[in-house]
């Protein structure tokens, strides 16, 4: 029996599960555009990302703060360029994962996306018409003003998915997010790569 056969629903994280993480090339392009040393940019990029994902700060405010802390005043055109580059850097989809999602739905499983991401990325994915297609439900941090591993975002996803916690599997590449799910009775599996995980899920 396949691992997923034990569950009525499967919840997928987005970055690192349905799409690749930002590449080094993407990160370097962002740092260069912002005019900030790559190592310092990495620190600043992630320093306030949780608040940006939750919708506590706007994209403009987020990038203005990165610029200020990095010693630069970023103009509006540069900020809009950074927002666009940032969004595109998180849209390298794993096609094999979407094929797996389609197989789950064909087998009668409920499937959802549960992701921390900022408004600009979420809206770009929606506009692209692919990244969230084929799912029964989508919960995004900026829309619910809660981010993993906070309990409310998991509850929102469970309610939308419509499967009991004990009959739901959550896939995420970060162990802290798996722990947050398990605290609510959701079974969790830390995700590595599609090549490694798909055989484990199917058999």
For the stretch 24-61, pLDDT in tens is: 999 999 999 999 999 999 999 999 999 999 999 999 99
Q: Do 115 and 186 belong to one domain?
A: yes
Q: Do 38 and 137 belong to one domain?
A: no
126 neighbors 26 (Cβ within 8 angstroms): no
User: Rounded mean pLDDT of 179-198?
Assistant: 97
Checking DSSP bridges between strand 110-115 and strand 187-190, what pairing results, if any?
Answer: unpaired
**Cα 52–chain centre separation:** 13
Other CB atoms within 10 A of residue 32 CB: 13
Q: Do 169 and 117 belong to one domain?
A: yes
Q: Do 67 and 10 belong to one domain?
A: no
Last residue of one domain, picked from the residues 89, 108, 143: 89
Q: Give the residue numbers spanning the domain of 55.
A: 24-89
**How many domains, in total, are found in the chain?**
2
Q: Do 13 and 50 belong to one domain?
A: no
List pLDDT tens digits, range 108-133. 999 999 999 999 999 999 999 899 99
Q: Do 46 and 110 belong to one domain?
A: no
Last residue of one domain, picked from the residues 89, 116, 138: 89
List pLDDT tens digits, range 67-113. 999 998 999 999 999 999 999 999 999 999 999 999 999 999 999 99
Last residue of one domain, picked from the residues 51, 70, 89: 89
User: Rounded mean pLDDT of 121-149?
Assistant: 96
Q: Do 49 and 83 belong to one domain?
A: yes
Q: Do 150 and 128 belong to one domain?
A: yes
Burial class (CB in 10 A: 0-12, 13-18, 19+), 168: buried
9 neighbors 112 (Cβ within 8 angstroms): yes
Q: Do 75 and 132 belong to one domain?
A: no
N- to C-terminal Cα separation, the chain: 6
How many alpha carbons lie under 13 Å from residue 28 in its C-beta half-sphere?
Answer: 3
> CA triplet 81, 85, 147: central angle to 5 degrees?
110
Asked if pLDDT for residue 162 goes beyond 90, the answer is yes
Q: Do 14 and 112 belong to one domain?
A: yes
Please name every residue paired with 190 in a beta bridge, in sequence order, or none if there are none: 172
Asked if pLDDT for residue 168 goes beyond 70, the answer is yes
Whole-angstrom distance, CA of residue 76 vs CA of residue 152: 34
- Per-residue confidence (pLDDT) for residue 203, from 0 to 100: 57
Q: Do 64 and 98 belong to one domain?
A: no
Which of 9, 11, 13 lies closest to 116, judged by CA? 13
pTM (predicted TM-score): 0.95
CATH at residue 112: 3.40.50.1000
């Amino acid at each position: 029996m396949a691992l997923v056969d034990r569950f009525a629903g499967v919840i997928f994280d987005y970055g690192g599960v349905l799409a690749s993480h930002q590449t080094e090339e993407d990160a370097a392009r962002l740092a260069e555009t912002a005019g900030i040393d790559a190592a310092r940019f990495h620190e600043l990029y992630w320093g306030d990302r949780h608040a940006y994902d939750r919708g506590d700060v706007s994209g403009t405010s987020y990038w203005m703060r990165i610029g200020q802390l990095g010693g630069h005043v970023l103009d509006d055109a540069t900020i809009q360029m950074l927002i666009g580059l940032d969004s595109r850097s998180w849209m390298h989809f794993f096609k094999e994962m979407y094929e797996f999602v389609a197989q789950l739905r064909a087998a009668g499983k409920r499937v959802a996306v549960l992701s921390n991401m900022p408004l600009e990325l979420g809206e770009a994915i929606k506009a692209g018409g692919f990244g969230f297609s084929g799912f029964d439900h989508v919960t995004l941090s900026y829309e619910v003003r809660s981010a993993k591993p906070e309990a409310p975002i998991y509850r929102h996803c469970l309610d939308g998915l419509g499967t009991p916690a004990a009959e739901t599997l959550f896939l995420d590449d970060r162990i802290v997010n798996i722990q947050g799910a398990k605290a609510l009775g959701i079974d969790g599996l830390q995700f590595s790569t599609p090549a490694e995980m798909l055989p484990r899920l199917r058999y």
